[in-house]
């Protein structure tokens, strides 16, 4: 296996996107409650879906992705886990899934394509995974509210420079941000990505904001990050 977590192992060599800090952060920062049904948009190798299965012991998780190799690898990773009976996968776009699904989800999570204005590479699959060619910020604002239960949460991690645009788009579709985590590689660096938690219920107060620092100046992980990631990662 390519990657070892506390309660599961997985391979990621055939997926368009590999495991990484963003997937762990997204998983560790989901709300503490008891969702019955969870949707993972753009599952890749399935790491976020597996983290959701570990964290929410009674939940059923649906994982979708448009990439065939990613879905095949996610299926294998799910089958090899103790959570297999609670995990389902579909090779389908978010747009098509939203049109077909009749199931409301209590929690939707996504670590979506990141780069909108950067140069494309020669690798088409990586372009699809890393750029919003097939999944735009507007898609992420339009479709999750259609799939989210009335008291559900949508948790997404995006680059800092794109988050404001996304929050504005989401607001246009009656999806309201109530909490954000600003992620800094080091205290002296600029914020590069933000985890946002949104609901369909309009929030009267200002957005609750927290800062997360990943590494000390000596490059060691901070206690803050170790405490967050220790739920899933070994050897921190």
CA dist 59 and 87 (Å) reads: 9
130: closest CA among 108, 151, 146, 115?
115
Q: Give the 3-state secondary structure of residue 33.
A: coil
CA dist 108 and 116 (Å) reads: 22
Q: Is the pLDDT of residue 82 over 90?
A: yes
Q: Is the pLDDT of residue 127 over 70?
A: no
Residue 79 has φ and ψ, to the nearest 5°, of -60, -30
**What global pTM score does this model have?**
0.91
CA 115 to chain centroid, in Å, comes to: 15
Instruction: Indicate the domain borders of the chain.
Output: 3-229
Q: Is the pLDDT of residue 230 over 80?
A: yes
For 154-177, the pLDDT digits (tens) are 999 999 999 999 999 999 999 999
CA dist 73 and 184 (Å) reads: 31
For 24-81, the pLDDT digits (tens) are 999 999 999 999 999 999 999 999 999 999 999 999 999 999 999 999 999 999 999 9
To the nearest 10°, the Cα dihedral for 198, 43, 115, 139?
Answer: -50
Out of 6-10, 13-17, 47-51, give the one with best mean pLDDT: 47-51
Q: Is the pLDDT of residue 128 over 70?
A: no
CA dist 100 and 121 (Å) reads: 33
Homologous superfamily, domain 3-229? Vaccinia Virus protein VP39 (3.40.50.150)
Q: Is the pLDDT of residue 146 over 50?
A: yes
């Amino acid at each position: 296996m390519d990657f070892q977590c506390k309660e599961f192992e997985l391979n990621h060599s055939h997926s368009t996107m590999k495991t990484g800090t963003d997937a762990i952060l997204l998983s560790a920062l989901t709300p503490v409650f008891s969702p019955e049904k969870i949707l993972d948009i753009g599952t890749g190798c399935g790491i976020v879906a597996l983290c959701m299965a570990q964290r929410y012991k009674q939940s059923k998780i649906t994982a979708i992705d448009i990439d065939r190799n990613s879905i095949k690898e996610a299926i294998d990773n799910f089958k090899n886990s103790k959570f297999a009976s609670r995990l389902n996968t579909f090779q389908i776009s978010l747009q098509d899934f939203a049109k077909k699904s009749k199931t409301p989800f209590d929690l939707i999570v996504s670590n979506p394509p990141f780069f909108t204005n950067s140069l494309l590479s020669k690798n088409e699959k990586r372009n699809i995974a890393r750029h919003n060619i097939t999944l735009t910020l507007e898609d992420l604002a339009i479709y999750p509210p259609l799939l989210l239960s009335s008291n559900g949460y949508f948790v997404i991690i995006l680059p800092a420079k794109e988050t404001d645009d996304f929050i504005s788009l989401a607001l246009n579709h009656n999806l309201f941000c109530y909490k954000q985590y600003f992620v800094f590689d080091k205290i002296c660096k600029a914020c590069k990505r933000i985890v946002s938690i949104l609901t369909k219920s309009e929030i009267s107060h200002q957005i609750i904001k927290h800062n997360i620092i990943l590494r000390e100046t000596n490059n060691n992980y901070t206690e803050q990050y170790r405490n967050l990631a220790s739920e899933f990662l070994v050897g921190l």
